[in-house]
Amino acid sequence: MLKRIIALVKKEFLIIWRDPKSRMLIIIPPIMQLFIFAYAMTMEVRNIDMAILDRSNTLESRELISKFESSKWFRKFIYVKNENELRKSIETQKAHIALEINSDFSSKIKRGKTADVQIITDGRQTNTAAIAGGYANEIINKYSDEFSKGKNTKINFETRSWYNENLEYMYYTLASLVVLLAMVITLLLTSLSIARERELGTFDQLIVSPCTPFEILAGKTIAPMGVALSLSMFMAFVAVFHFKMPFRGSVILYLISTVIAILSITGVGLFVSALSKTQQQAILGAFTFQTPASLLSGFISPIEDMPRFFQYLTFLDPLRFYMVIGKGIFLKNMPLQDVITNLIPLCIIAIITLGGAMWLFNKQLD
Amino acid sequence: MNESAIEIKNLTYKFNSSDSYALEDICVEIRKSTISGIVGPDSAGKTTLLRCITGLLTPQKGNIRTFNLNPTKQQEEINKILGYMPQKFGLYEDLSVEENLNLYFQLKEIPESNKNEIFEKLYHFTNLEQFKKRAAGKLSGGMKQKLGLACALLGKPDLLVLDEPSVGVDPISRKELMKMVKELSSCDTTTIWSTTYMDEAQSFDFCIVLNKGKIIYKGKPFNLGKNTKEFENKIIKIMGGYKEKESFLAKDFTLKKTDIECPVRAIGLEKKYGDFYAVKNNTFCIKKGEIFGLLGPNGAGKSTSFKMMCGLTTPSAGSAKIMNIDIVKNPSKARSYIGYMAQKFSLYGSLDVLGNLNFFASIYGLEGKEKETEIKKVAEVFELEPFLKQDAKELSLGFKQRLALACAIMHKPPVLFLDEPTSGVDPIARKEFWSHIKGLAKKGVTTMVTTHFMDEAEYCDRISLFFKGEAIATGTPDELQKKAHTKNMEEAFSVLIERSQTK
């Protein structure tokens, strides 16, 4: 039995790898997407509302604020009196960003010393926060340059993001993308595999051989898994070494999680493939799963912001759990316990989808 | 003498991917209002020639005049007078029979006024009236071809070009196709029909025999032979001849000894779809070393029976046993005794020849030295050595067939299942193929085969004739002919079916 499985796995590998067209189709688009998303997904944001806590209340501080007022990106300014009000304005999302100027601002720059300014962004809206923070940086830098002409003065500003300390927007996108693309590759490979054999007529030949359905499916699980795993490792590699994304968690935990996540998606792919008569149908079926799965994964919008019903629906989405693990391991050192809490539902989904694919496959042989 | 419809002078065509010529220095003239056959083995250039005539390919050298038009430059004018049916006609499988006809009717811009009359006539000839609303994809092979031909015949084209319309079609449907062309095309129509069936080619007005891109005969088929057998022998002779020789494959073939008398047995096999019996109470026993043929028109239940025997379809009742092992209860074990060859080429096209051999050897449990020697041997016997590194999909049909047989017999199966193994294959390759099967049978391999070729039926030791889900007659070819009081299988086939219909 083992020898037959090995032969089947080898064959699946060869079929994926030998055809130059299919090889290109597997490698190029994911990597292209990785680069395009990483570089292109900075969108311009306008109409930013800003809360201002001006403790200095001097000519200099007002001059800085006027720079913000005259810029095209900012819309409304809410002047707050204390820390508490500032917190509230961010919390209730009245303001996307807050500017805090210390009382010694004016005296410090006048004396040619470094003055401190703090910018606070709403980390829950990662995208807006990152971009608004960027604009603020730009404005303060410009002001600082103008002021310090010929002098030694400098404004030191610090951007802090509440709820998501050390906001690194590109990293967030990258980590999610590596996860997302692992799913796309796995789904593509597995959903095509049975359908391709059906379409080309090799399926009957395989069924008439001594291979049992279990062996055939094992071959169709292991080979795409190998390809998807190596590609997703490669993408993680590109993210870390080319885009300098941090990798803060455990590599082994990441590997184990990826294997289980890929397994659960393989089950979905094989299920779709067993249902399809042609490769075209299989691709359509894969898309039918892929789009809602990515939407519900929390990549595009936070799960907490979804309507209650959809929040429950996300529990069926293997990508949701894998997304949490992936981002957790990349961006922060996610503790083992948290990884396991997310791995358990992934395992359950894997068992259900693979079992379902097996059941359907067997049923269709009648 | 009629004026000429098509004039071809020094036509040469070469595919970019190939070193040799697909067509070389072809000179021929086809007269108007005739039916001409293009005959030749697989990859002889039949399709290429037809595509040059219709302007789908532009030859590198030479001149073609199709109805006094230049096919490459005046394609639009040619399309107006042309009815073309490629090997796989472009039927829309999800559209119904009627919708398909309607579509082609509109595409050809035929005046609406005659529509009912034309459709009625086509339905009458194709017997498709009752299936009007059925999706084209759900028709049997023969019916699909008839529908395709009906679409090509719409608008009474001056030139009707048919590329192997009868491949994989049963003899009755083949006769009907021929009848359709002869009666439905107007007497001004010029028909060109490519085929590997010798009985068809023999009945045409004119025939062109192609081999390796060259014309080796052109003229009246009647001059080559007065009947199909004579004609076929003559064609084989001019194609280089075929010598009956002992199959090398069978020479060193040894089977494990068994006491099993009937390696293949069907006991009351039945398949029901709803209320419809696809196969009814089918019982037979194939003895060791016997070649057993399943015959019958498309949709008679022979394919379903065959599939149940392989375990591709689960029977509704009854059982199938291979070497005394029930194929439903213990499929893996039972299947390890079977060598299987499907009608359609069913190996991995994107793997190379060696890859296919390796894979099938492994899944049938061959390994190590034994695997290597077995692969080497079949590669030698089937002359596959030069192609070992070539993708299987690039092989010609004849070689694909060889590779498929090679993959099926490497593990020395005591039982061989062949599903229309030679449809579309030229006569020489077919004879070669059967010499292997005969040789293997002598060594004790039990063979079950489905076929459309009546002459192939004569290779069988015993035949089971299927009609409407039932085996209506079983016996040796001689017995069946005697029973029907006829001298050849083809007639016996028709007589026995007619008889069961009147019952």
Domain's final residue, options A162, A182, A215: A162
Rounded to the nearest angstrom, the minimum Cα separation between B138 and chain A is 14
pLDDT band at A56 (very low <50, low <70, confident <90, very high): confident
Nearest by CB to residue B363, choosing from A19, A22, A210, is A210
Answer with the one of A120, A141, A162 that is the final residue of a domain. Answer: A162
Mean pLDDT of A88-107: 85
Let me know whether A225 and A356 are in one domain.
Answer: yes
Residue B87 sits in which domain range?
4-238
Same domain flag for A96 and A192: no
Under the phi-then-psi rule, with left for phi > 0, alpha for psi from -120 to 50, and beta for the rest, what region is B319?
A: beta
Q: How far is CA B437 from each of CA A37, A118, B259, B402, B473, rounded to the nearest angstrom?
A: 60, 88, 22, 12, 24
What element of type H or E holds A5? Answer: helix A2-18
B333, B348, B355 member nearest A202 (Cβ): B348
Chain B residues inside the 8 Å CB shell of A210: 332-333, 335-336, 363-365
Bridge partners, B28 (sequence order): B8
CATH number at residue A152: 3.40.1710.10
User: B475 and B409, same structural domain?
Assistant: yes
| pLDDT surpasses 90 at A348 | yes
Same domain, A144 and A189: no
Q: What is the CATH number of the domain that holds B427?
A: 3.40.50.300
Same domain, B221 and B336: no
CA distance B4 to A364: 56
Angle between helical axes of B427-442 and B228-238 (0-180°, round to 10): 100
B165 and B61 in a common domain: yes
CB distance A10 to A35 below 8 Å: no
Q: Determine the pLDDT at residue A44.
A: 55
Q: Is B416 helix (H, G, I), strand (E, B) or coil?
A: strand
State whether A205 and B340 contact (CB < 8 Å): yes
Q: Which of A118-127, A312-321, B43-52 is predicted most confidently?
A: A312-321
Q: How many CB pairs under 8 A join A and B?
A: 81
How far, in Å, CA of B145 to CA of B173, rounded? 9
B210 and B339 inside one domain? no
- Whether A344 shows a pLDDT value over 80: the answer reads yes
Concatenating the DSSP letter of every residue in B430-473 gives HHHHHHHHHHHHHTT-EEEEE-S-HHHHTT-SEEEEEETTEEEE
Q: How many residues does chain B have?
A: 503
Task: Give bridge partners of residue B322 from the DSSP assignment.
Answer: B264, B325
Asked if residue A256 and residue A181 are part of one domain, the reply reads yes
Angle between helices A318-331 and A279-295 (to 10 degrees): 60
Whether B383 and B247 have beta carbons less than 8 Å apart is answered as no
Gap from A237 CA to chain B (nearest CA, Å): 31
Lookup result for tokens 């061989």 = B416
Of A18, A22, A205, the CB nearest to B346: A205
Q: Compute the C-alpha angle A19/A22/A23, nearest 5°.
A: 80
pLDDT over 90 percentage in chain A = 27
Q: Inter-chain contact A201–B344, Cβ cutoff 8 Å? A: yes
Residues of chain B in contact with residue A203, where contact means CB-CB under 8 angstroms, are 346
B436 burial via Cβ count (<10 Å: 0-12, 13-18, 19+): buried
CA distance B26 to chain A (A): 35
Spacing of C-alpha B245 from chain mean position: 25
Cα-atom radius of gyration of chain B, to the nearest Å?
24
pLDDT at A39 over 50: yes
Question: Is B279 contained in some domain?
Answer: no
* Same-domain pairing of A157 and A226: no
Q: Which residues of A touch B312 (CB under 8 A)?
A: 204, 207-208, 365
Q: Which domain holds residue A267?
A: 2-40+169-364
pLDDT digits (tens, 9 = 90+) for A157-200: 666 555 444 445 677 778 888 899 899 999 989 998 899 888 88
Euclidean distance between CA atoms B128 and B131, whole angstroms:
5
Instruction: Say if the Cβ atoms of B363 and A8 lie within 8 Å.
Output: yes
User: Cα separation of B85 and B161, whole Å?
Assistant: 6
Candidates B138, B346, B363, B401, partner chain A, best to mutate (most A CBs within 10 A):
B363
For residue A61, give the nearest of A114, A96, A99 by alpha carbon: A99
Amino acid identity at A66? S
A75/chain B closest Cα distance in angstroms: 57
Strand partners, B7: B29, B65
Interface test with A, best of B303, B346, B403, B416 (most A CBs within 10 A): B346
- For residue B94, is it within any domain? yes
Mean pLDDT of A284-306: 87
- A78 and A142: one domain? yes
More confident residue, A72 or A32: A32
Strands B446-450, B415-419: pairing is: parallel
For residue B393, being part of any structural domain is answered with yes
Q: What is the enclosing helix (H) or strand (E) of A180?
A: helix A169-200
Alpha-carbon distance of B441 to B75, in angstroms, equals 53
**Same-domain check for residues B214 and B352:** no
Question: How many domains does the structure of chain B reveal?
Answer: 2
Q: What does the block give as tokens for A198?
A: 């059906």
Q: For B184-229, write each residue's pLDDT tens digit.
A: 777 788 999 998 888 888 888 899 988 888 888 888 888 888 888 8
Instruction: Let me know if residue B273 belongs to a domain.
Output: no
CB contact (8 A) between residue A19 and residue B350: yes
Mean pLDDT of A136-155: 72
Using a CB-CB cut-off of 8 Å, the residues of chain B touching A212 are: 331-332
| Helix, strand or coil, per DSSP, at residue B203 | coil
Q: What is the DSSP letter of B87?
A: S
Question: Is the predicted pLDDT of residue A201 greater than 70, yes or no?
Answer: yes
Q: Nearest CA to CA, how far is B269 from chain A (Å)?
A: 15
**A194 and A67 share one domain:** no
* Amino acid type, B287: K
Find chain B residues with C-beta within 8 A of A8's C-beta. Answer: 363
For residues A206 and A260, state if they share a domain. Answer: yes
Provide the domain count of chain A.
2
pLDDT of A356 above 90: yes
The span from the CA of B190 to the CA of B32, in Å, is: 5
Strand partners, B219: B207
All residues at 6 or more sequence positions from B5 whose CB lies less than 8 Å from its CB, including other chains: B30, B31, B32, B33, B34, B66, B67, B158, B159, B190
Query: pLDDT truncated to tens, each residue of chain B (503 aa)?
Result: 468 888 888 888 888 766 778 888 888 998 888 899 998 877 788 888 998 888 888 888 888 888 888 888 888 888 888 888 887 777 888 888 889 888 888 888 888 887 888 888 888 888 888 888 888 888 877 788 888 888 888 888 889 999 888 877 777 788 888 888 888 777 788 999 998 888 888 888 899 988 888 888 888 888 888 888 888 888 888 877 777 776 777 777 777 777 788 899 989 888 888 888 888 888 889 999 899 998 887 778 888 888 889 888 888 888 899 999 998 888 888 988 999 988 777 888 888 999 999 999 999 988 889 899 989 988 988 888 888 888 888 887 778 888 999 999 998 899 999 988 877 677 788 888 888 899 899 888 999 998 877 777 888 999 998 888 888 888 998 888 888 888 877 788 888 888 887 76
Looking at the fold, whether B298 and B207 belong to one and the same domain comes out as: no
What is the reported pLDDT for A259?
94
Is residue B313 a part of any domain in this protein? no
Average pLDDT, chain A: 84
B331 touches chain A (CB under 8 A): yes
Report, in angstroms and rounded to the nearest whole number, the Rg of chain A calculated over CA atoms: 26
0.90 surpassed by complex ipTM:
no
Tell me what the mean pLDDT of segment A129-136 comes to: 78
Are B220 and B298 found together in one domain?
no
Which positions in chain B touch A198 (Cβ < 8 Å)? Answer: none
Pair B191, B336 in one domain = no
